[in-house]
Structure 1
Amino acid sequence: MSEDEANAAAAPAEGKNWRRKGKHDKPKPWDEDPNIDRWKIDKFDPAWNEGGMLEVSSFSTLFPQYREKYLQEAWPVVKGALKEYGISCELNLVEGSMTVSTTRKTRDPFAIIKARELIKLLSRSVPAPQAIKILDDEMNCDIIKIGGLVRNKERFVKRRERLLGPNLSTLKAIEILTGCYILVQGNTVAAMGNYRGRGLKQTKEKKPYTPFPPPQQPSKIDLELENGEYFMSDKKKSAKKWQEKLDKQSGRAEENKRKREAAFVPPKENTAGPSKSDKNASDNSEIADIAKSLKRKAKEFRKNEAQESVIAESYIASNDELRQKKKKKSTKSK
């Protein structure tokens, strides 16, 4: 192979753009568009998958024996709900299992995943009407295992009761706070709700890019060289530390003494005289006192006038009146 051929082969290799991770991770113009709702889930249209499923997918789960009677009663409701999505379901009481599988009528590929979550919720004692809500695209669920969080069984039971609260009050408060349906059963907790409103992670603020690294911090030896302590003997170093400690203690003692003495300092007296508001208040009180005294004097004056205008003759009976009274008495006695 000649040198010209080797150079020709190496030329395209040098000019080739090698792949780099995050090469295309650049801000797009639609990333900050307020009109776009990124939480919205479009409803599935059967026209998107007219051919149906190519293979049969099935999932099964076991359920405890105490759920057998309830599942047997509620199974027609579950079967009718899954039939709308083209999913077949089977309840096997001998093995104690529930099975869901796709059919030729299944159009939504994600419907089988929702059906699997449905039978999981039914096996964990979630009521059928509540569990059927998981078939909605906006609804999601999670089964949290809490059995292995505490080693001691008695302590685990007490903490689980504390989570429920008296008359399930604590559990209801958690449901209102999170906006989710929560059911505690055995060693698991079933939660149903929407991802919207979930606690978002704290985004780290992007700092301006600086191509130069930060300056190196001085070490302990560098600081001692600057202060001159590096060349001091151990005895002088200990004496200096002791002196610094005494200075700090004396400073704290003075500050504490100042705080204690501040409680005995009398407040400043107002030597500038009464303020305008105090003067106005005193003037108003004087006016009110004058008005009261005038009213009292007016009442006394009216009483005196009434006493002076009294005529004694109006209270003394005349001779004619006495004669009439005597005649009336004589007629009554007859």
Structure 2
Amino acid sequence: MEDDGAQVMDTNNNENDFDTNGKGKKHKGKHDKPKPWDEIEVDRWKIEKFEPKDNPSGLLEESSFSTLFPAYREKYIQDVWPIVKNALKQHGIKGHLDLVKGSMTVSTTKKTYDPYIIIKSRDLIKLLSRSVPAPQALKILNDEMQCDIIKIGGLVRKKEKFVKRRQRLIGPHNSTLKALEILTGCYIFVQGNSVAAMGSFKGLKQVRRIVTECMLNQMHPLYNIKILMMRRDLANNPELANENWDRFLPKFKKKNVQQKKPFKTKEKKEYTPFPPPQPPSKIDLQLENGEYFLNEQKKSKKQWQERQEKQAEKTAENKRKREEAFKPPEEPKMQDDGKNEKDDIAAIATSLKNKAKEFGKSKSADKIDAEMFIATAGEPSKKKSKNKK
């Protein structure tokens, strides 16, 4: 009985030595000890912030980017540049503003520790040159924020259609643009021939698709807004979170609606019971001219003569058009009042004689009194007397 008990104990020990799968022996050692990260929940997907201690040696080479800005942005950029320069300085980036050339330049320094910050700085000056406000553009320096510049100028040929579709994207009182910003979580700014967007990668992808579909007239932005709203509601539902949503989403098809042509009223003709006369055929016309009875040789000769006459008329007309270019323009004719030069001279002479007579009469009427002149000549003038006083 003792032997049977010992055998039972041995079998239990052997079972513990083997792994649960029965593949081999399970050795106890340092790997079986509890790990420190087993007790703490670690988020493997979390991207930790890049700090100066992660790259103490800095960068080996200097990198720089520059971009031009339009003349109407010069005043605003000049006012805001100190704020932008201080923000870049915190990341070890040097900024330079050249108002003569109209350019902004960013470059790395010895204090730059993050190698990707120069790309972020390049995006910053791009956004500033495309009329994005400085407080919003400075958010691009954060790690979570990305930007995308969508060029829409070449998507539409006609300027009228381009303006109409761009206004469709903005909406009345910027309502469509605000709805897209809320649903995609991105900042969208439409300016000129480009659309600047800032946000996450997922949101930027949605914004680019919606903008291109709107400008190419593939789908109206309101339909895309409706789809995004339904997607958000389905994502909040835990039962449908991991299912395919295609059966719930609406499918919009573009309808080619033909426009009605303007209705033209036809004038009513008088009713006649008799049909219109039949037009004469080619043979009838030849019979009238007598050409039908001619030989083939005479017919060809007549056709050749007609061709020669038409050609002569055309050459004469072309010659006349060429000669018109060499004709001098007609000079403007002076307006004739029906009077000769002799009549004009006689009228001038009589007017001068009349003026001379009038001048003589006025001179004789104004006689000078000599006694008054002598009396007043001896008296001192008032101005001199005042000066003496």
TM-score, normalization: structure 2? 0.41
TM-score (norm 1): 0.48
Point out which structure has higher relative CO (alpha carbons under 8 A, 6+ apart).
1
